């Protein structure tokens, strides 16, 4: 934000009053790079902003163990454990990047999310139900794993929730399930096998909760905002040891950067970027008083369709169209999901360690996963 004097002096007289009439107003930094009077964005402003958020826990940690890259002829397929898996964004991205996935074990309790993951990935994901029931015995039976990923529920951590319970109560405590399993999976010092992990949660959390997460995970997070690679704001903290996590995120040729690119034919975007999309239907409204709908169709305002939401997140069209789920159910599973291009950015360096194949990827052989013993394994047919 800018104060009235800064705008009127740096940009031009009367700027502050003129901007009050613009709704929505797009920040100078979010607009194409150009000077506005004496106000000139730095070329590296996005990196500087991330640095402000990336290490403000006032804590210093030992650097993560660095694994040397593996020669191509010695790489092997990935073995993944995904906690709080949601709609399998992790698996989708790994396959999009061309990784060979030997096994992908997912812990998730939302039946709608499990249905989306099961149907879209043809039962190749082994579902193991509640993370709290995963024991050391299970991990030994299913493992070893090369990659642990997850983002525990944020509703009791986000400062947007006025009745949040924090890190040590309610769903906030589920962070410690990730920490427990991470501690059990980490290889010993003498084990040279590369092991990577990634934990995600909201940026807007209580400082004490963030500091405590940093203390347990023994590292500071990086901040990544999906607005750089998609039409929606979605700032998230990521803790982990994947190489290159702090590098600036850049869009690929296939990323859709404006809302108009995600709309169906005959619909016109009223804004270029939308605010963070959550499970709440009101998060689709724009403007200062949440009164503006983001789309115009046949001269009338309209909300975003679910197929458009899927594109905004980077998912294929109709990805959540399973199990006769209604609009509210589909937005709910999307609102809890990761942004596909952000996870692609974070996972890409793993290509130096694990087997990839030329795209389009070959069909993954999941015969080894069928014998896994799990607390619960769904039948794909019952979700159709």
Q: 230 is written with which tokens?
A: 């998609």
Is residue 154 flagged as an active site residue? Answer: yes
Cβ burial, residue 153 (10 Å; 0-12/13-18/19+): middle
Using only the alpha carbons of the chain, give its radius of gyration.
22
Cβ neighbours, 10 Å, residue 355: 18
Length of the chain: 384
Which residue out of 154, 214, 262, 356 is catalytically annotated?
Answer: 154
CA separation for the pair 78, 309 (Å, rounded): 30
Q: 379 is written with which tokens?
A: 């039948």
- CB distance 158 to 205 below 8 Å: yes
CA separation for the pair 91, 170 (Å, rounded): 28
- CB distance 39 to 27 below 8 Å: no
Give residues with Cβ within 8 angstroms of 156, minimum separation 6.
164, 165, 166, 167, 169, 170, 171, 172
CA separation for the pair 276, 335 (Å, rounded): 9
Q: Counting runs of H as helices and runs of E as strands, what totals does the chain give?
A: 11, 10
- CB distance 372 to 145 below 8 Å: no
Q: Which residues of 7-42 are buried (b: 16+ CB within 10 A; e: fewer)?
A: bbeebeeebbeeeeeeebeeebeeeeeeeeeebebe
The string of DSSP codes covering 127-168 is E---GGG--HHHHHHH---SEEEE----TTTBTT-TT---TT
Give residues with Cβ within 8 angstroms of 330, minimum separation 6.
306, 309, 320, 321
Q: 147 is written with which tokens?
A: 């990659």
Which positions are catalytic?
154
């Amino acid at each position: 934000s800018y104060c009235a004097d800064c705008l009127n002096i740096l940009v031009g007289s009367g700027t502050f009053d003129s901007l009050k009439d613009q709704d929505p107003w797009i920040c100078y930094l979010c607009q194409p790079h150009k000077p506005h009077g004496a106000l000139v964005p730095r070329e590296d402003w996005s990196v500087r902003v991330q640095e402000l958020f990336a290490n403000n826990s006032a804590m210093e940690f030992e650097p993560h163990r660095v694994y040397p890259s593996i020669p191509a002829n010695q790489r092997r397929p990935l073995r993944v454990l995904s906690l709080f898996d949601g709609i399998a964004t992790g698996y989708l991205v790994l396959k999009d990047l061309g990784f060979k996935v030997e096994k992908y074990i997912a812990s998730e309790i939302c039946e709608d999310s499990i249905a989306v993951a099961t149907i879209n990935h043809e039962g190749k994901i082994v579902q193991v139900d509640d993370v709290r029931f995963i024991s050391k015995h299970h991990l030994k039976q299913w493992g070893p794993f090369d990659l642990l990923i997850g983002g525990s529920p944020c509703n009791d951590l986000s400062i947007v929730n006025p009745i949040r319970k924090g890190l040590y109560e309610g769903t906030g405590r589920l962070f410690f399930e990730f920490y427990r399993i991470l501690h059990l999976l980490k290889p010993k010092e003498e084990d040279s096998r590369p092991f990577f992990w990634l934990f995600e949660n909201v940026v807007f959390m209580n400082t004490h909760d963030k500091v405590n997460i940093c203390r347990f995970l023994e590292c500071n997070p990086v901040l990544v905002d999906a607005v750089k690679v998609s039409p929606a704001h979605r700032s998230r903290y990521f803790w982990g040891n994947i190489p290159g996590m702090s590098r600036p995120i850049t869009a690929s040729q296939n990323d859709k950067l404006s809302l108009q690119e995600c709309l169906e034919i005959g619909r016109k975007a009223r804004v270029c970027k939308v605010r963070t999309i959550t499970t709440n239907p009101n998060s689709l409204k724009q403007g200062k008083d949440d009164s503006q709908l983001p789309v115009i169709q046949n001269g009338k305002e309209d909300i975003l369709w679910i197929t458009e939401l899927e594109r905004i997140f980077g998912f294929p069209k109709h990805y959540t169209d399973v199990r006769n789920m209604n609009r509210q159910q589909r937005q709910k599973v999307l609102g809890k999901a990761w942004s596909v291009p952000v996870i692609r950015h974070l996972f890409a360096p793993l290509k130096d360690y694990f087997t990839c194949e030329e795209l389009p990827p070959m069909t993954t052989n999941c015969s080894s996963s069928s014998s896994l013993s799990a607390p619960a394994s769904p039948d794909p047919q019952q979700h159709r």
